[in-house]
Amino acid sequence: MIEEIVEIGDILIGVSSGNEAYLSALIEEIEVPSGNEKNFVAKINFSTKEKIITIDCAEEVKDSTAKDYVYVGSAEGSNSPQWFASTKSFAYFLTETIPNLAERSIPVVSDICKKILDDYFVNIKEYLLSSAELTEEEKMLLNQRIEKKYMYFLNTDHVMVNDNKKLTERPISQIYKELIRKGKSTDKVFKQLRDAFTKECTDGLKKLTELKPQQIGLYVLCVDGKPLTSYPEYVEAVVAYKRQVKKGAEKTGEKQKEGNICYICLGTDGLSFEGLKKPKFKYFTTNQNIFASYLDQKNYAKNITVCEKCLSKLVAGDIFLRNKLKTQFGSFDVYVLPTFVYTSAKLTKNYLEDLTLNITNSLNTAWNYNRLEKLRDDISNFLSFFDQNHYFLLNLIFYREAQAGTKIMKFIPDINPSIFDKIYNAASKVFSQYIDIIGNDPSFRISLESIYYSVPIRLKNRNESTEAQRLLNIYDAIFSGKRIARDFLIENFIKAVGVVVYGKEGYNLSKFIGNDIALMVIRMVFVMKFLEFLDCLEVERGMDVSQLNLSDDLKSYIQQMNYDEPKTALFLLGVLIGEIGAKQYLATKDRQDDSAGHKPILNKINYNGIDRPKLIRLCSDVHNKLRQEKLLPYTEMIFAEMKRLLDKHIDSWKLDKYETLFYILSGYAYKTQKVILNASNSQETSN
């Protein structure tokens, strides 16, 4: 994976040694809201002439904002000093940025920040120890060691902001006293104080600007009206920081340890293991002894190092990945990383940007599309890049953000772009089949999203749950051409139905809660056909329908679904339940209470699964309901065929409880959807 990122970085910056080309690759994107929504740039301006801070939020976030203010994200690593003068975290400006800039020896800028540090910040430990408001007991807690990033706080006690207002209503000492009185653990009192102070300042900023925190897209540090990001010296420092490896245990030249080479280019100059900590995407563990040579973290460099040139490309490619190649599958964050296997012409930055736009467009359309025409057009545009001059594969990286880096949940490598054409063809076949055997419903479609809403996932713990891995394994099979077990699919489908029927909250299926399950199940049925057309699901051998004493519609459905005799019996049982449900719905739809549109027959179904004894009992219940609802004369033929096939196989029943329930529900869903579509078409005709 790391080689592909470096290759992208090489396309972006090549062998350029100038700062401008490299800086353009370092800029991180800032989301520009669509429609009437607006986000703003908060310029925090310190005056060197008088003790006044001005906060200006008049400027709107636009496409060029990140470049205008040299936004390169935050320093790598959770414990790295934060010194960038443009950030998305207001907290950095309150305690860290100015002190860190003051000691970085950046010409002009560091001197300016030293003055701001002296005029506007306090050493928090000294400040609190000298406070007359604190008791000796409260001061005792301050004797613990203080981390450098919590050492200085913005002095909000006396500094005026925007027309003689204050950023906080209470002095820092009072914020500290309240923190102590809450009785929380105080073993990290300075961190807790920084968090409480940040909240107080954020609330104050909200009152001063009348903007919610989420409406501020970027915070920029200014002095005397001039952004620090506009100083050439600052820009050079940022580029140098991103370019340079951290010199340490790994020496070059004659003193270099034997065997050390760059993991990427095999070079021997400017090597560092620490450089691999710079990208936000973590490719290797960097803090566990078990992965270091001789179980000693000092010996990580013996396993892997990177040179300065490759690090520059790695950082540039890493930022491009996060800016341009990020998308979502439902609740999953996904990177789409191309691997260029063959190129007969030099790849350019413009080609790369156009390609990545088409990659993400095609993937997003395959996930959720409104018209097959759009899916076809997007895929056609994308595949135009897949020509005789360039041959590439795709890698899908399902991940989640963590404080220490990025955790990969699933990696699907070497995807042939032709899979999108297969997805279009499969979706087209499913749509045609649905119209043929169910009815004309232009809104019906099966996409990758349909699969997401067929497997239940607890969203709270989705990143670690086995349910999430089951779903990701299905996507792996689709993109890699692997086979999926039918019983595995059906078990997950039934569990999804149970989530909806019992109204369980906290799942990815919340959009279906309270709705009729018929549409959900019929989509599951055609998801299976979709997977068959993709050759991810083995096509089963069905029964000979010519001997069935049924209507042509039913025989056509059974034939196209390849149902054998036991599954046909269950399907017909479900159709009968659908007939009863339709009759019960019509009888109750005009009621003015909770029983309106109720189908009591569905209460006879155990949604946890139906074994053989429950199946026999359900058949008896359905027969009684058919007689009770006076439907038996109209359904006698279906019931007879169902009973004949069921009696033939019931003594040697092989389907498990999930399969038994699923095929019953498939019959119910079929009948219900036919009734709904017929009623809808009749209404349109009458109008």
* Residues contacting residue 509 through CB under 8 Å, at least 6 positions apart: 453, 456, 496, 499, 500
Contact 661, 606 (CB under 8 A): yes
Residue 252 has pLDDT above 50, yes or no: no
Which class for 596: exposed (0-12), middle (13-18), buried (19 or more C-beta within 10 A)? exposed
Task: With CA atoms as reference, report the closest residue to 91 among 235, 14, 198.
Answer: 198
Per-residue model confidence (pLDDT) at position 106: 94
Q: What distance in Å separates the CA atoms of residue 562 and residue 386, rounded to the nearest whole number?
A: 37
Query: How confident is the model over 72-93, as a mean pLDDT?
Result: 87
Which class for 277: exposed (0-12), middle (13-18), buried (19 or more C-beta within 10 A)? middle
Residue 657 has pLDDT above 60, yes or no: yes
Q: What distance in Å separates the CA atoms of residue 313 and residue 354, rounded to the nearest whole number?
A: 20
* Residues contacting residue 532 through CB under 8 Å, at least 6 positions apart: 538, 539
218 bridge partner residues: 41
pLDDT band at 255, cuts 50/70/90? very low
Chain-wide mean pLDDT for the chain?
Answer: 86
The string of pLDDT tens digits covering residues 426-452 is 999 999 999 999 988 888 899 999 999
Structure tokens at 600: 């009591």
Sign of the CA dihedral running 464, 465, 470, 474: negative
Q: What distance in Å separates the CA atoms of residue 198 and residue 215, rounded to the nearest whole number?
A: 17
121 bridge partner residues: 154
- Angle in degrees, CA 652, 655, 658, rounded to 5: 150
The string of pLDDT tens digits covering residues 536-568 is 999 999 999 998 999 999 999 999 999 999 999
* Residues contacting residue 75 through CB under 8 Å, at least 6 positions apart: 81, 82, 83, 84
Q: How far is CA 14 from CA 17, 22, 269, in A?
A: 9, 9, 18
CA 326 to chain centre: 9
411 bridge partner residues: 397
Q: What distance in Å separates the CA atoms of residue 269 and residue 255, rounded to the nearest whole number?
A: 11
Per-residue model confidence (pLDDT) at position 147: 87
Q: How far is CA 626 from CA 482, 610, 623, 632, in A?
A: 44, 20, 5, 5
Percent of the chain topping pLDDT 70? 86
Residue 178 has pLDDT above 60, yes or no: yes
Query: How confident is the model over 594-600, as a mean pLDDT?
Result: 77
The string of pLDDT tens digits covering residues 15-46 is 555 567 678 888 888 988 887 889 999 999 99
Per-residue model confidence (pLDDT) at position 16: 56
Q: What distance in Å separates the CA atoms of residue 84 and residue 136, rounded to the nearest whole number?
A: 38
Structure tokens at 233: 């010296």
* Residues contacting residue 539 through CB under 8 Å, at least 6 positions apart: 532, 562
Structure tokens at 81: 């000093």
Query: How confident is the model over 584-613, as a mean pLDDT?
Result: 85
DSSP E strands in 429-517: the ranges are none
Query: How confident is the model over 588-613, as a mean pLDDT?
Result: 85
| Pick from 208-217, 307-316, 362-371: least confident | 307-316
Residue 484 has pLDDT above 60, yes or no: yes
pLDDT band at 687, cuts 50/70/90? very low
pLDDT band at 677, cuts 50/70/90? confident
Q: Distance between the two ends of the chain, CA-based, in angstroms?
A: 59
Per-residue model confidence (pLDDT) at position 158: 81
Contact 144, 185 (CB under 8 A): no
Q: Is 478 or 158 the better-scoring residue by pLDDT?
A: 478
pLDDT band at 294, cuts 50/70/90? low
| Pick from 5-19, 243-257, 309-323, 565-579: least confident | 243-257
Whether the predicted model's global pTM rises above the 0.85 cut: no
327 bridge partner residues: 334
The string of pLDDT tens digits covering residues 57-66 is 999 999 999 9
Per-residue model confidence (pLDDT) at position 267: 84
Q: Is 596 or 493 the better-scoring residue by pLDDT?
A: 493
Task: With CA atoms as reference, report the closest residue to 70 among 250, 263, 228, 176.
Answer: 228
Per-residue model confidence (pLDDT) at position 588: 81
Residue 245 has pLDDT above 60, yes or no: no
Per-residue model confidence (pLDDT) at position 263: 80
Side-chain-side CA neighbours of residue 541 (13 Å): 0
Per-residue model confidence (pLDDT) at position 282: 63
The string of pLDDT tens digits covering residues 611-655 is 999 999 999 999 999 999 999 999 999 999 999 999 999 999 999
Percent of the chain topping pLDDT 90? 55
DSSP-derived 3-state class of residue 216: strand
Q: What distance in Å separates the CA atoms of residue 471 and residue 478, rounded to the nearest whole number?
A: 11
pLDDT band at 253, cuts 50/70/90? very low
H-helix or E-strand spanning residue 449: helix 448-452
- φ/ψ of 303, rounded to 5, equals -90, -40
Q: What is the largest CA-CA distance in the chain?
A: 97
Residue whose entry in the numeric block shows the structure tokens 């906060």: 55
Structure tokens at 11: 């396309």
DSSP-derived 3-state class of residue 414: strand
- φ/ψ of 307, rounded to 5, equals -90, 170
Q: What distance in Å separates the CA atoms of residue 427 and residue 47, rounded to the nearest whole number?
A: 62
Query: How confident is the model over 659-687, as a mean pLDDT?
Result: 82
Structure tokens at 195: 């968090």
Structure tokens at 261: 């080479």
- What 8-state DSSP symbol labels residue 479? H
Which class for 507: exposed (0-12), middle (13-18), buried (19 or more C-beta within 10 A)? buried
Q: What distance in Å separates the CA atoms of residue 617 and residue 619, rounded to the nearest whole number?
A: 5
